[in-house]
Structures are given as structure tokens and as C-alpha cells.
């Protein structure tokens, strides 16, 4: 039996188009023409001997073989990129102090750090998980090299890298009670999420009360699950036991989206810091596709 070698470029187009929800967008992202992407997908289907995509409404959806291949393609690309990074990063060593808000620390951070450690065994990473306002202050004081924060908190060097819609999060059986203030669960001020939620409720003429203050995201989610009220968050890292509430909940929309900023401590980061920064941006690029909108990083 003759073995087939899958083409990494073709797999990358397949994964990118699936993640972006559009192969036209994948062509733009990868710097290829749409016809070139179409030829790659046709080649991939010929290699595996199965149809990978089917029409669904005005768009395309994965077939059962397509879903299987997507899982393997992600793993193959991850190993490929890890091998390249490890080869190029052999001589890079040092320490990086990274700050992250809790949403990211409880979702993709462990996996990212695992990959980074394998690719850059000589780089040690210290992670600090905190609220955004405290992380931005730590960057300004020189206590952190990088920090990823919601909201435009001041620091010497920050760049907006994405916009993410705000959503109300509640228990599966949450319902507003007629004639009662909206029970709001939030961090203490200063908190961009809390401010946006109050502004939206005030604009809608809806009374509210702070039903629960918590210093931790886990505490907020526990209070939400217990049915104490609702909290404003993004779709990033929401526990499966909770749900994002839509307009049928009676709660007003929160606009505009919340901004995501990357704060950098040094004007000229060390090689180790730059490698971790690149890894962060690559992970965020795919993460923001599903929860919001990525914007080109401004240095």
C-alpha cells in the first residue's frame, strides 16, 4: 500500500478557512488567491479520497470525514510549527514575566505554555493572573514583561489587538423577575465589564443592584451558577454549565465591544519575551475569530 503524505500548506489552508468560517477570508489571510485555495481543497479531497465540505445554506460545512481530518490537521500543524520553533529557538534562553486576565488563564493558557516549553526549553515563564487594571500597573512599574488585558488601561507601550462583544452570562434557568432590580454580579471598581453593564442598564431605564462582589472570576461564575444573578463577560472561557443570554432574556445589549490590549514592558523586548509574544499572538489570532474580531497589532 502506497502511503500518502499530506501537504502542510494545504492543511493550513483547510484549517484557516474552517476557523475563519470562510475560505475567501483564508485566501486573504494566507496571501493566496481564492482559486489557489480551491485547488488546494480539491487536492486534499483527492488525497484522502473523501468529500470534506458540503453546502449548507449560503455557506459550507464540514462533512463527517472533514471533521475527522480537521482534528488531525490541527495536531499536525501544531507539531510542525513546534518543530520549527524549537529548531530556531535552541539558542534562545531567559526569563519572561507574563500577566493574563483570568478569562484566558482558565482556557488556553496551560496548553500554550506546554507547547512553548517544548519549543523553547531554555526560556522560563513566570505567570501572574490578575485583574487587568493591576496587570497594566505591573507593566508600568517594570514588574511584568507582557500583559494581556481587557480595557484600555494606561501603560507605556500598549496595542489594541482585538474587539470582543460583551454578553450577559446567567444560569441555565435564569429569568428576570418583574418589578425587581437586575441582580448584577461583578468585580469591584475599577472594572470595564461592570461599568459597561451599568451603562447598558441605565440607558435602558432598568433598575439594578450589585448582588455579589468577587475578586475572582471563579467566584463570579459560582455565584451565577447558584442563581444569584447575571454577570457581563465575553464568550471566552465561559463554563459549559452556564449560558450566554440573548435578547429574549429581557436584558439590554452592551455596546460597543470591549477592547483587548497587549501591554509590553520594554521598548526593545528581549529575544525570550519576543518569542512568547509571538506565541501569544498566534494563539489569540485563532481564539479571537470565534469570540470577536482581531485587529492588526500596532507596535
**What average pLDDT does the structure give for the chain?**
85
pLDDT-based confidence at residue 211 (cuts at 50, 70, 90): very high
Q: Identify the residue with better confidence: 224 or 85.
A: 224
SS3 147: strand
CB 170 within 8 A of CB 289: no
92-156+259-286 and 167-249 agree in CATH topology: yes
Pairwise CA distance, residues 211 & 261, whole Å: 29
pLDDT at 297: 44
Report the pLDDT value the prediction gives residue 299, as an integer from 0 to 100.
Answer: 36
Instruction: Give CA–CA dist 52/30, Å, rounded.
Output: 20
Q: Domain boundaries in the chain? A: 8-87, 92-156+259-286, 167-249
Q: Please tell me the predicted confidence (pLDDT) of residue 288.
A: 64
Burial of 235 (0-12, 13-18, 19+ CB in 10 A): middle
CA separation (Å) from 260 to 164, 234, 279, 281?
A: 7, 11, 16, 12
Percent of the chain residues topping a pLDDT of 90: 32
Quote the strand ranges of 142-291, DSSP E: 146-150, 158-164, 167-171, 182-186, 208-213, 231-233, 242-245, 258-264
Question: What order of strands is seen across the sheet that includes strand 158-164?
Answer: 123-129, 94-100, 146-150, 258-264, 158-164, 293-294
Q: 8-87: what CATH class?
A: mainly alpha
The stretches of 89-161 forming alpha helices (DSSP H) are: 102-105, 109-119, 132-140
In CATH, the architecture of 167-249 is 3-Layer(aba) Sandwich (3.40)
Cβ atoms < 10 Å from Cβ of 284: 20
Among the listed ranges 34-38, 115-119, 212-216, which one has the minimum average pLDDT value?
A: 115-119
Distance CA 91, CA 105 (A): 28
pLDDT digits (tens, 9 = 90+) for 37-78: 889 889 888 888 888 988 877 778 888 988 999 888 888 888
* CATH fit for domain 92-156+259-286, picks 3.40.190.10, 3.40.50.720, 3.40.50.1580, 3.40.605.10: 3.40.190.10
pLDDT (tens digit per residue) in 163-192: 889 999 999 899 998 889 999 999 988 888
102 pLDDT tier (thresholds 50, 70, 90): confident
First CA to last CA across the chain, in angstroms? 52
Judged by average pLDDT, the poorest of 43-57, 102-116, 130-144 is 102-116
pLDDT at 127: 92
Q: Does the structure show a pLDDT above 60 at 9? A: yes
Amino acid at each position: 500500500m502506497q502511503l500518502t503524505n499530506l501537504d502542510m500548506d494545504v492543511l493550513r489552508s483547510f484549517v484557516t478557512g474552517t476557523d475563519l468560517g470562510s475560505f475567501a477570508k483564508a485566501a486573504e489571510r494566507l496571501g493566496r488567491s481564492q482559486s489557489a485555495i480551491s485547488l488546494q481543497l480539491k487536492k486534499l479531497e483527492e488525497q484522502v479520497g473523501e468529500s470534506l465540505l458540503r453546502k449548507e445554506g449560503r455557506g459550507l460545512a464540514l462533512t463527517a470525514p472533514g471533521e475527522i481530518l480537521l482534528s488531525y490537521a490541527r495536531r499536525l500543524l501544531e507539531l510542525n510549527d513546534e518543530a520549527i520553533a524549537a529548531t530556531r529557538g535552541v539558542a534562545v534562553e531567559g526569563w519572561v514575566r507574563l500577566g493574563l486576565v483570568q478569562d484566558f488563564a482558565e482556557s488556553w493558557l496551560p496548553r500554550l505554555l506546554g507547547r512553548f516549553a517544548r519549543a523553547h526549553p531554555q526560556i522560563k515563564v513566570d505567570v501572574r493572573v490578575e485583574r487587568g487594571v493591576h496587570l497594566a500597573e505591573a507593566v508600568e512599574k517594570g514588574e511584568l514583561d507582557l500583559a494581556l488585558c481587557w480595557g484600555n488601561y494606561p501603560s507605556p507601550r500598549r496595542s489594541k489587538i482585538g474587539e470582543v462583544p460583551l454578553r450577559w452570562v446567567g444560569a441555565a434557568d435564569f429569568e428576570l423577575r418583574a418589578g425587581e432590580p437586575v441582580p448584577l454580579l461583578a468585580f469591584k471598581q475599577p472594572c470595564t465589564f461592570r461599568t459597561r453593564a451599568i451603562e447598558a442598564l441605565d440607558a435602558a431605564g432598568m433598575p439594578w443592584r450589585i448582588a455579589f462582589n468577587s475578586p475572582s472570576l471563579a467566584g463570579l461564575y459560582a455565584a451565577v451558577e447558584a442563581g444569584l444573578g447575571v454577570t457581563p463577560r465575553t464568550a471566552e472561557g465561559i463554563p459549559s454549565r452556564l449560558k450566554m443570554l440573548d435578547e429574549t432574556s429581557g436584558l439590554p445589549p452592551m455596546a460597543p465591544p470591549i477592547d483587548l490590549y497587549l501591554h509590553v514592558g520594554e521598548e526593545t523586548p528581549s529575544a525570550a519575551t519576543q518569542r512568547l509574544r509571538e506565541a501569544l499572538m498566534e494563539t489569540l489570532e485563532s481564539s479571537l475569530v470565534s469570540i470577536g474580531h482581531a485587529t492588526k497589532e500596532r507596535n
